[in-house]
Structure 1
Amino acid sequence: MSKLLYITANPKTEVKRSKGAQIGEVFLETFQQSRPDVEVERLHLYSMDIGRIDEDLLYARAKLSFMGYSFEQLSEAEQNQYSKMQTLLDQFINADYYVFVTPLWNFGTPAIMKDYMDNMFKFGETFTRTEEGTKGLLTNRKAVHIQTRGGIYAEGPMKEYEMGDHYLDKTLSFLGMEVMKPIIAEGLDHLPKQVPEIMAHAKQEAEKAAIEMANDTVTHN
């Protein structure tokens, strides 16, 4: 059975309080109408124990990668951190479709999303090296990013400061995925009177993107 990972990075737990979540729910509803055969798994990062690259994980990865250690030879703390990373990685690898929902904070993605994605880089499982260079191994998968922005970054003087969607796009592409055009709702703080119009447009774009993703039957098996 195919799987879609729906990954949100926002401390707000109620959909009605998060504009990004509202857009995301429209995407999911539309997608599931077309593809009831796809299992949806929700990951609310702020309610999860996301492993961060700390000293224990850094040494655990090095010891197992090129220092000749076995898992049993790691310290208990190193084993715990590595196992936590591997669990998240296995869950990620086993999906076919990915939906990321994030706000743009201080020009970038929420730190917890960066922590989460740091767990997805593992040589031999998500990327490798060839004579032509580095190659992503997560092929035959499709991803889309839903992002909300308080200001205007699609054009104008702030365009070069947008590093949240840019980060996810480059990261997922590096890992081998097909990344769809993002769904962006921007100006939500700067243009308060236009928020209903901005949200309506973003939801329409979410519906279109969901249909596009649903019509593309991908499988990595």
Structure 2
Amino acid sequence: MRSWLFAALFLLLGSAAAQAQATITLDSFGLDVEDDGATLAPQPQGEMAQCLLDQANCDNAEYKGATQLSIDDVVNLQIVDHEDIDENAAGLNQSPGNTASPTLPTLDVEILFDYDSDTLRADQGAKLNELIGLMNDPAFAGYRFGIIGHTDAKGDPAYNRDLSYRRAAAVIAYIADYGGIASGRLVARGLGADQLKAPADPFGAINRRVQLVAIPVKQ
């Protein structure tokens, strides 16, 4: 009974905060329509979605990713099989002669946890609901999402990798439970302190984050 009440309170607090803070809401989704009535492809809404798709022009220090992830990276991390990736999706087409693995849309999101805990805090509801809004955006209907956990460099590397995975899994559990996102579109991975956001400040809180990578998949 207590766990049910906590879940309901968590969702209520997150939803109320999201209305005040989030830049993406379900009401903001829509299709662009030309003068002749033809419907264009949906465009992603909000700063988080825009930064995901255009890191080069992202001015948000939090969302600005420290590392890029390529198709080869997500395959090696077993987030998705190579044959499932839609390499003809917008932004992934390569110029002739370019043999490098195309990079994928990615951004960092600071979702705070208490020390040595993988339990989601109620005050993180707004950020989590913003992630749900992004994933429900029609512009990302054909994407699978990897949630990659990161820690700072304090502590045992193996323990940090496990902790970062458990935190990423907690984020995915919330998104799947409260966001209506099919669990098959969500994959958790943990890298511990292997990819610090601020190598010059290895123990800094900025390194404790989850990284979202969006992968276009064949339908």
* TM-score, normalised by the number of residues in structure 2: 0.33
* TM-score, normalised by the number of residues in structure 1: 0.32
- Structure with bigger strand share is 1
- Structure with bigger helix share is 1
